[in-house]
Structure 1
Amino acid sequence: MRITTVRLLPHLAGLGALFLSATNVIALDSPTSSDSVLPQALIDKVSTTLDTDTLRLTAIFKDLHQHPEIAFMETRTAAIVAKELKSLGFTVTEGIGKTGVVAILKNGPGPTVWFRADMDSNSVRETTGLAYAAKEKQRLPDGSEIDVMHACGHDAHVTWLLGLATAMVAMKTDWSGTLVVYAQPAEEVGLGAQAMVDDRLWERGFPKPDYAFGTHTAPGPVGTISSSPGVRMAGVDQLDITFNGLGGHGSTPQMTIDPVVMAAQAVMSYQTIISRNLDPQASAVLSVGSIVAGRDNNVIPETSVLKLNLRWFTADVREHMLKRIDEINRGIAIAAGVSADQMPTRLMKGNSGPLINDKALVARINPSLEALLGQGKVIDHFPAVMGSEDFQEAFKPLGTPYTFLLVGVAPPELFAKAQAEGRPFPYSNHNPDFFVDLSAIALGAKVNTVAVLSILAKR
């Protein structure tokens, strides 16, 4: 096993903590079982196969990037996935969890591996200036339009999945078992994986997974990945708080109960939950991402809505945060004179538990990934981060061992420049300037394929 030590920059946070340049990684090699490493000839075959497919994959990626779709509206993306996988000979089922796609390729006896890509985009206006940037707004069911962008790399995830599927079909003589690739909706809102489970994912006769994999973009340098065991990401909750007031004219506030003031008080009071109610050594985040209240300058509205995001690693911390949120809300409402039947309400919208990579599975795939990428390019020992995922929720009912990899997608020269300037990365996920360097398209598909072959390759 390879032991890795790292020098962490003090200002690294979120997904940024998962990636450093190769110059910040010191690899201490110890003997590794040769049985766990794929033959170099097979790894080279993966590279050659996907290098040949790079132009096609890049075209698919650019098309997906130009046509982003938000949660549960990924109909165009899902149709592309289904069409491509059917043409490869997969047995395809569409419409699971509204837009999810599951595709099965049986290739003899052996383990069953599931591999996931999420499809949805963000409500962000792109500013990258790319020739293939997203420019059109997306129309919502209510007729309104919003800016949309793949600011978290899900377009790359889908492309990598299609690259994996193509390579595995081309290399069918090199492996045995069953490969299931699936495209998941609505990861950004934390509801997609559970939606597929609720839509009878495990009751449709699909082969049950022995192992599961997923990959995600991160703005580390192209050619570097994070594949680490144990707790990797925090649990997450998305919730809305509604304050009920009494509306009226802005000139006569004494005749109203102002929900905007209650919302403002709540935003500030919530911050004391982390600083004063939790153990200082407990990791947690509470963010208010949106305040929705009123429309006109001179009208005090009837209601205000706060959209909250919680991050946590343990159930007791989560429950304590929710309890204190409710207590703060009620206290503010009582102080404002709200009647007992109009107390604030809490709507829970999406939830995922912490993501915990299987230690044995990580140890099994990492030697081959390092053989693919080079020494020091597979970062295997990092602290967990507050970023979250719902990938693992699909496999919670089955107890499937899984691992989730993060793949660097930033140009190495931009990454080096950012580090020299004291910044962890040149850009971050969910920002309007986020982009996936095109050199990462084939590389991400190679990482996917080598990970899967680490389980399914003939020995």
Structure 2
Amino acid sequence: MSFHPLLSALALSLCAASAQAATPDLNKRIDGLVQQDEAQLVEVFKQLHRNPEMAFQETETAALVAKTLREQGFEVKTAIGTTGVVGILRNGPGPVVMYRADMDALPIKEETGLPYQSTKVTPWLNNPSQPVMHACGHDAHTTWLLEVAKVMAQLKDQWSGTLVLVAQPAEEILEGAVAMVNGGLYDFAPKPDVLVAAHVSPVVPAGSVSLRDGPRMAGTDQIDVELPGIGGHGSTPHVTKDPVVMAAMAVMGYQTVVSRMVDQAKPAVLTVAAVQAGVNNNVIPDRAVLKLNLRWYDQQVRERLIAGIKSVTSGVLVMNDVPEGYAAKYTMKGYSTPVINAKAQTEQAQAALVAQLGADKVLPGMPPVMGSEDFHMLASPYPDTPVLFIAVGSGKPDAYKTLVEKQQLPPAMNHTSRFVVELPAIAAGARAMSATLLAFFNAGQ
């Protein structure tokens, strides 16, 4: 795929920016407030990076968020969806703007060599000492939220409405947003008129941002498939029903679901990310678990993927003559619909970002990707809520140029042990999101 058309799209998109951006004086005030806090913000980011917390374990991070929001005059509710935090700043009549930052880290051993590298271990699944790392930038996202709270509180004379800040747990397992909704988010917070989130991007230079309307990220399902077996001694496999063999057959059979059961014109991904079965060399276990990850944009594709998985699994059991009464079990876990940026809100934000950061720092968004997010599920009770997802640069200065000219990704992408957020992204993200939120409050004025 060539990315060269994106360069011409940049010029067109910048010309489309409307006059709804903040005034020059307001942009200077945002810049000044963030600039005076930048050194402290970087230290907060490093503190969070040293102390990552896994999904639904974000107690220390949540406590820091709650404390900071209260200091800035927000009404605060904690423990929503286990560890979620919501802060509300009511500032007269006007729209309700909700901004989310995610807090959780990943089960990865960090190998960046940074002086603030994580060495933390924590119990996770069956590992009592799982190394943990912020390998997706949620430490930066949380830091932006803290500074946005301060900026918006200090600029209350410049906007009117209700600001809702959400520190969300468990984005990495795509369960946190739904957990917050089910945990009483809207018993405390008002219905949003717009929902906004931002995410670091290593393919965008730190100090720049990238956005685009329309489909941005895929829908997803996380599914565990448990295959039943009849265990026994490794020396007598003929008297067993070996779930390890069945797991291998299922993994290979699943490869035909996308290639032979889904319309090739429609994007779809089916990944088996883990196979769990047995302990000893000479003991055939009585069960195996496959951990699957699906990605899709079309609801019918999703349904076909799930039906195909069940068809292949059933066929494997039949081929291995598994007795009646032994059935596969399917556990549906994290789920999210596709992220689709609203056109009007994208244009409003783009104008604000150009005014705040400069036209050369606002890059066109990449084509839709198969990665997924769940922030928009916060608005699932109100499906007509417009949403906006912004990529904030966290990469090296030449990251975007290398992608466009050479079609090469950075060597250390998200979810890898050497992933690094370049430090200029901290202040830039806080400026970008403050300007975007102010634009939504001041739209039409």
Same fold (TM over 0.5): yes
Distance 1:414 1:363 in 2: 25
Stretches of structure 1 lacking an aligned partner (at least 5 in a row): 1-5, 11-19
Structure 1 SS opposite 2:331: strand
1:127 maps to which of 111, 115, 120: 111
> What residue number does 2:412 align with?
427
Letter in 2 for 1:176: S
Deviation per CA, 1:195-217, whole angstroms, max 9, x where unpaired?
0111121233x222111110011
2:379 maps to which of 389, 395, 405: 395
Structure 1 residues 31 and 315: CA distance shift in structure 2, 3 A = closer
> What residue number does 1:443 align with?
428
Tell me, yes or no, if structure 1 residue 81 matches structure 2 residue 65: yes
Once the two structures are TM-superposed, the CA of residue 34 in structure 1 deviates from its matched residue by 5.5
Identical columns (%): 44
Q: Is the 8 A contact 2:66 2:76 kept in 1?
A: yes
1:239 maps to which of 214, 218, 223: 223
Once the two structures are TM-superposed, the CA of residue 31 in structure 1 deviates from its matched residue by 5.9
Once the two structures are TM-superposed, the CA of residue 37 in structure 1 deviates from its matched residue by 2.2
> What residue number does 2:439 align with?
454
Q: Is the 8 A contact 1:418 1:426 kept in 2?
A: no
Once the two structures are TM-superposed, the CA of residue 341 in structure 1 deviates from its matched residue by 1.0
Tell me, yes or no, if structure 1 residue 207 matches structure 2 residue 190: yes
> What residue number does 2:250 align with?
266
Letter in 2 for 1:56: Q
Q: Is the 8 A contact 1:219 1:426 kept in 2?
A: no
Q: Is the 8 A contact 2:206 2:423 kept in 1?
A: no
Letter in 1 for 2:336: S
Tell me, yes or no, if structure 1 residue 165 matches structure 2 residue 134: no
> What residue number does 2:279 align with?
295
Letter in 2 for 1:329: T
Aligned length: 442
Structure 1 residues 33 and 81: CA distance shift in structure 2, 3 A = closer
Structure 1 residues 67 and 405: CA distance shift in structure 2, 3 A = same
Structure 1 residues 84 and 426: CA distance shift in structure 2, 3 A = same
Once the two structures are TM-superposed, the CA of residue 335 in structure 1 deviates from its matched residue by 1.0
Letter in 2 for 1:239: I
1:404 maps to which of 389, 406, 409: 389
Structure 1 residues 385 and 414: CA distance shift in structure 2, 3 A = closer
Structure 2 SS opposite 1:443: helix
Tell me, yes or no, if structure 1 residue 255 matches structure 2 residue 239: yes
Tell me, yes or no, if structure 1 residue 8 matches structure 2 residue 3: yes
What TM-score, normalized to structure 1? 0.91
Distance 2:352 2:403 in 1: 30
Structure 1 residues 351 and 271: CA distance shift in structure 2, 3 A = same
Deviates further, 118-127 or 337-346? 337-346
What TM-score, normalized to structure 2? 0.94
Structure 1 residues 32 and 38: CA distance shift in structure 2, 3 A = farther
Once the two structures are TM-superposed, the CA of residue 365 in structure 1 deviates from its matched residue by 1.5
> What residue number does 1:218 align with?
201
Distance 1:219 1:239 in 2: 28
Q: Is the 8 A contact 2:207 2:424 kept in 1?
A: no
2:338 maps to which of 333, 336, 354: 354
Once the two structures are TM-superposed, the CA of residue 139 in structure 1 deviates from its matched residue by 2.6
Structure 1 residues 230 and 420: CA distance shift in structure 2, 3 A = closer
Q: Is the 8 A contact 1:128 1:434 kept in 2?
A: yes
Once the two structures are TM-superposed, the CA of residue 223 in structure 1 deviates from its matched residue by 2.5
Distance 1:381 1:128 in 2: 28
Once the two structures are TM-superposed, the CA of residue 419 in structure 1 deviates from its matched residue by 7.3
Once the two structures are TM-superposed, the CA of residue 7 in structure 1 deviates from its matched residue by 5.0
Structure 1 SS opposite 2:348: helix
2:300 maps to which of 294, 316, 331: 316
Structure 2 SS opposite 1:115: strand
- 1:106-185 superposed matches below 5 A: 106-140=90-124, 144-185=128-169
Distance 1:419 1:434 in 2: 21
